[in-house]
Structure 1
Amino acid sequence: MQVPFDLTSYVRVLKLASTPSWNEFSQIAKIAGAGIVLVGLLGFIIFIFMSFIPS
């Protein structure tokens, strides 16, 4: 492991990184929230479906 080389690559990445604008952040948050709600809804539908199937 080459520590100086690793540190320079980390510094390079941090220099390229920037904070997102509010519009970009809100769009990402909406998409992530919609994905979480969709997966939860799918799990709930499967739970309801499995509850009504007789054992």
Structure 2
Amino acid sequence: MKILLVAKSTSQHAVSMQFLTKQEREQLQAQHRFERDRRIRIINGIIERSL
């Protein structure tokens, strides 16, 4: 479930990347990584609390 969610957002992300400059693309990738890491930490926190 978690992996599917990340893969889906990544594929949508890849499509929009084609229309950006190199700088915008790098900025977006950094932001995307940050968002994904935060989401994973939140999900892991929820999993740990429910155990």
Residue of structure 1 equivalent to 2:32:
32
Q: CA deviation at 1:30?
A: 0.5
Which is richer in helix? 2
Could you tell me which amino acid in structure 2 is paired with residue 37 of structure 1? Answer: D
SS at match of 1:29: helix
Q: CA deviation at 1:19?
A: 3.8
Residue of structure 1 equivalent to 2:42:
42
Gaps of at least 5 residues in structure 1 are 1-17
CA distance in 2, matches of 1:20, 1:47: 36
CA distance in 1, matches of 2:19, 2:35: 23
Gaps of at least 5 residues in structure 2 are 1-17
CA distance in 2, matches of 1:42, 1:35: 11
How big is the alpha-carbon RMSD for the aligned residues of Structure 1 and Structure 2?
A: 1.6
